[in-house]
Amino acid sequence: MKNFAVLSLLKNAKWGGWALICLYVSLFSGIVVGIQYEHTTPYYSTASIDLIVPFGGYFRSLHFYSSQFFFLFSCIHLVFVYSETEKYTRGEWIKLTTTLPVALLLLFTGYILRGDSTGSSAGIIAENIVLAIPLIGTALNDILFSITESGMRKVYLNHVISFDLLLLIFLWTHLRKHRVFLKDHLFMLSAALCLPILILAPLEPDQLGVSYISGPWFFLGLQEILHYFSPLLAGVIAPLCFLIAIYTIRPKTTGSRFALTFTGIWLFVYTLLSLIAYFRSLLTWA
């Protein structure tokens, strides 16, 4: 009975509303940080925001944490409302679930723009993965990253314009149906605003003698897979299979049970690989 009560409490939590609150905070704080950021000197610019710009460290941390929580709350919200998505058309479902990879791209490009050891390494890995795609790899890299040739310019433009617009386009119908009011989520808003006071967003300078760099938390599994498989298989085909499964798991549709099983197994394996990568980093630092 106690487990059922906890599950019921979790299901009735306002995950969707909390996600939207975090999204709005992320967009607002992102504007503040983006105005101060200079893509030609990414690490120096990020460090300057923390040290020189008034309340710069607070707003960068606010943007960092609110973006993370938007993605996490969105995923949890999707899990608990899954049974209610039967009424969605296929187009609505695809648009809604596409917000997840777009949100990941926003998180990932935010890590790259820091210009620290984690961000720089993640950018190099991402560029190599995209370039491994047959036929369209070079063109796609020119659109998304092109860090080797253009520095952070395209990453910055995609982070502050392209991916934000895509996210709002895919979410627009959902936002019109489900509006949130700040007065109904004052606790979450207060938590989002107070967390950056207590914990600053990470910034990791290059350190001599460090041979292993741990990427963003959502990138750890992919980083571990790259130890065993080619960039095309690990960085493109594996995530693409997961994305296709997500698009086909609508309730009571053909193949949904298989897709749901595949999604669960994929997430379990990815979580396991992420833990291996995490403990590998701890052992390296020890």
Out of 150, 180, 206, pick the residue that ends a domain.
206
Main-chain dihedrals φ then ψ at residue 221, nearest 5 degrees: -60, -45
- The one-letter code for the residue type at 179 is R
DSSP letter for 30, please: H
Confidence at residue 237, expressed as pLDDT on a 0 to 100 scale: 92
DSSP letter for 238, please: H
The answer to whether residue 137 is domain-embedded is: yes
- The one-letter code for the residue type at 226 is L
- One domain for residues 186 and 63: yes
b/e 134-164 (16+ beta carbons within 10 angstroms → b):
eeebeeebeebbbbeeebbebbbebbbebbb
The answer to whether residue 37 is domain-embedded is: yes
Count structural domains, the chain: 2
- One domain for residues 253 and 177: no
The answer to whether residue 82 is domain-embedded is: yes
Q: Which residues of the chain have pLDDT under 70?
A: 1-12, 206-213, 254-255, 284-286
- One domain for residues 222 and 202: no
Confidence at residue 136, expressed as pLDDT on a 0 to 100 scale: 93
Confidence at residue 247, expressed as pLDDT on a 0 to 100 scale: 86
DSSP string, 131-180: HTSTTTHHHHHHHH--HHHHTTHHHHHIIIIIHHHHHHHHHHHHHHHS--
Q: Which domain holds residue 27?
A: 2-206
- One domain for residues 66 and 112: yes
Indicate which CATH number applies to the domain containing 56: 1.20.810.10
Out of 148, 183, 206, pick the residue that ends a domain.
206
- One domain for residues 24 and 133: yes
The answer to whether residue 211 is domain-embedded is: no
DSSP string, 94-138: HHHHHHHHHHHHHHHHHHHHT-SHHHHHHHHHHHHHHHTSTTTHH
- One domain for residues 66 and 152: yes
Counting Cα atoms < 13 Å in the Cβ hemisphere of 117 gives: 12
- One domain for residues 141 and 242: no
- One domain for residues 20 and 154: yes
Confidence at residue 6, expressed as pLDDT on a 0 to 100 scale: 54
Confidence at residue 153, expressed as pLDDT on a 0 to 100 scale: 93
Confidence at residue 3, expressed as pLDDT on a 0 to 100 scale: 53
- How far apart CA 180 and CA 170 sit, in angstroms, is 17
- One domain for residues 136 and 63: yes
- One domain for residues 101 and 159: yes
- How far apart CA 14 and CA 232 sit, in angstroms, is 38
Confidence at residue 118, expressed as pLDDT on a 0 to 100 scale: 83
CA dihedral of residues 214, 219, 222, 226 (deg, nearest 10): -40
Are 99 and 74 within 8 A, CB to CB?
Answer: yes
Extended strands (E) in 12-56? none
